[in-house]
Amino acid sequence: MKILLIEDEERVSSFIKRGLEEQGNTVVQAYDGVVGLKLGYQEDFDAIILDVVMPGMNGMEVCDRLKNIHGVSTPILMLTALGSTDDIVTGLETGADDYLPKPFKFKELLARLTALTRRNTSGPKKTSHILRVQELEVNLKSKEVKRGGVEIILTAKEFRLLEYLLLNKNRVVSRTDILENVWEVEFDLGTNVIDVYINYLRKKIEHGFSSKIIKTVIGMGYIIKD
């Protein structure tokens, strides 16, 4: 894999780079957010490892610009000493695909990178770029979401969550399913992040409508039904 490592602490950056290269990866380093941002959208990488607290531009802003302005689809693993639920939600809200608090064991970093870059071949096939349920319409190409003809603005992660639920319409999906297919990780984030994002999504696509779209199946997960 070709990996972009954006980390301002040289000792930490060297440790990660050495470990990844021993596994046969190619690592490009950046020591501040501005340089990392430029590399992130100008070059092709299989994954980006991004620290949060950095000079020039912090990791949250770098991630937001890469994902939501430049449209970079490269999976991003965010590293930080900040580990509260709010910090994790903020990081994921900007477009990060996974979140690893410091300090961490290198084998966990490696496992998460592998999970992020592994292609999901067992998921449902997309037969159309338009997904519909009730008055809700989702365009997978333009990334537009409308309900009753009114456009709804979603973050990148909210869109991916809604897309996954719709692709599995009439089927209960568990929190584990969501972690593996939306966040592309096999590890419990240790927080209520999934519930938080379900609530975010509900507020945006159900507010002002009498009928609910996302239903909770207690003890099992969530479902969208026709």
| CATH number assigned to the domain comprising residue 219 | 1.10.10.10
* Count of structural domains, the chain: 2
- 3-class secondary-structure state, position 81: coil
Supply the range of the domain harboring residue 191.
Answer: 130-224
pLDDT band at 35 (very low <50, low <70, confident <90, very high): very high
Q: Are residues 139 and 106 in the same domain?
A: no
The answer to whether residue 91 scores a pLDDT higher than 80 is no
Structure tokens at 88: 């994790």
Residue 123 lies in a domain: no
Mean predicted confidence (pLDDT) in 91-106: 81
- 3-class secondary-structure state, position 185: coil
Residue 6 lies in a domain: yes
Q: Are residues 25 and 54 in the same domain?
A: yes
Q: Are residues 72 and 16 in the same domain?
A: yes
What is the pLDDT at residue 183?
A: 78
How are strands ordered across the β-sheet holding 47-51? 26-30, 2-6, 47-51, 76-80, 98-101
- Contacts of residue 140, defined as CB under 8 A and 6 or more positions apart, other chains included, come to 126, 129, 130, 131, 163
pLDDT in tens, 109-147: 998 888 887 743 344 444 457 888 999 999 887 889 999
Question: Where are any strands of DSSP class E within the chain?
Answer: 2-6, 26-30, 47-51, 76-80, 98-101, 130-133, 136-139, 144-147, 150-152, 214-217, 221-224
Task: Residue 112: give its domain's CATH number.
Answer: 3.40.50.2300
Which of 75, 91, 117 is the endpoint of a domain? 117
Residue 204 lies in a domain: yes
Q: Are residues 65 and 144 in the same domain?
A: no
What is the pLDDT at residue 179?
A: 85
Phi, psi of 186 (to 5 degrees): -105, 10
CA–CA gap between residue 51 and residue 32 (Å, rounded): 9
Which of 82, 117, 152 is the endpoint of a domain? 117
Residue 217's beta-bridge partner residues? 221
CA–CA gap between residue 53 and residue 35 (Å, rounded): 14
